[in-house]
Every structure is written in structure tokens, then in C-alpha cells.
Amino acid sequence: MKKRKSPKQLIEAKIWQLCKEIIRKRDGKKCFICGKKIIKNSSWHTGHCFPKSNCGLYLKYDLRNLHSSCYYCNINLGGNGARFILRLEEEYGKKFVDQLRKDLNEIVPDSMTFLEEIYKEHTKMAKWSKKRLINYLKDSHV
């Protein structure tokens, strides 16, 4: 018998699907970390700079923490974190990365309310153009 997903699991699955759509639109078929062109969709991942096991719910679906990555960087190199951070600093600056590190300590008091807000926000953002998504990343949170 298949176990039913909880409301939290269901909304997290929907948010993750939106994250993948947004990141793929924003970053294209190029690994943000190593720069390699991603040829097969099965090799196209949405990677976390700060791993979801360490970043908590606050950064798990945060678009600043998510970028396109190839299978090799995301799986074989475990996210290639050191290189990922260097690339973020090159692209967006040290203040950007410092803010992400600071946000690692953010605690979400009510996870369902937080997830519902993220879902609404990401649903709107999924309709944005690539340029608007890039500008949002460059201009926000710093």
C-alpha cells in the first residue's frame, strides 16, 4: 500500500518543480559551476550552493542558493561547493555570498505558512522573463 503524502510534502514537491522551471529558464543549459554545456536533460540538475541538508527551509527553495548544474558537479562532486561559492562571488560579489551565509542561520517559525508564501511567490516568478529573473537575482537580498 502506497503511503499518502502529507500536505507539507505535497507543497514542497510543487515548489521544487517551480524552482526547477525557474532555474532552467534563468540559467539555461549551462552548468553554473564548471561552465560545461548540458546536452541531455537527464544531466541537467538544479543544484544547491549550500546543500539542502545544511541550509534549512529558509534557503532550500531560495533562488539565490539554486543554479543549473551538470550531473558531474552536482552528483559526482557532491555539489562542488567550493567552486560554486567562487562562481557566486565572481558573478554576484562577496556581499551576495556573505548574505547567503548569514541566511543559513534563519529559522522559519511556521513551515506551512512559509511554504505557502514561497509557492505563491515562485508561481508568479515562473511567468517572468529570463532577463527579469536574472535582474531579480542581481538586485535582491543584498
pLDDT at 125: 97
- Exposure on the CB side of residue 78, measured as CA atoms within 13 A: 3
Structural domain contains residue 17: no
Rounded mean pLDDT, 97-116: 92
Structural domain contains residue 54: yes
How many domains are contained in the chain? 1
Structural domain contains residue 12: no
Task: Return all residues near 47 (Cβ < 8 A) that are at least 6 apart.
Answer: 32, 33, 66, 67, 68, 69, 73, 74, 79, 84
What is the phi/psi pair of residue 37, to 5°? -70, 135
| Site of grid cell 541550509 | 55
Q: Does 99 have pLDDT greater than 90?
A: yes
Nearest Cα neighbor of 32 from 77, 86, 78, 76 is 86
pLDDT at 21: 96
Structural domain contains residue 94: yes
The parent domain of residue 78 ranges over 26-106+128-134
Structural domain contains residue 79: yes
DSSP 42: G
Rounded mean pLDDT, 118-123: 98
Structural domain contains residue 19: no
pLDDT at 141: 54
pLDDT at 142: 52
Other beta carbons within 10 Å of 107: 7
pLDDT tier at 43, thresholds 50, 70, 90: confident
Percent of the chain with pLDDT over 90: 80
Q: How far is CA 75 from CA 48, 71, 112, 114, 116, in A?
A: 11, 5, 29, 28, 29
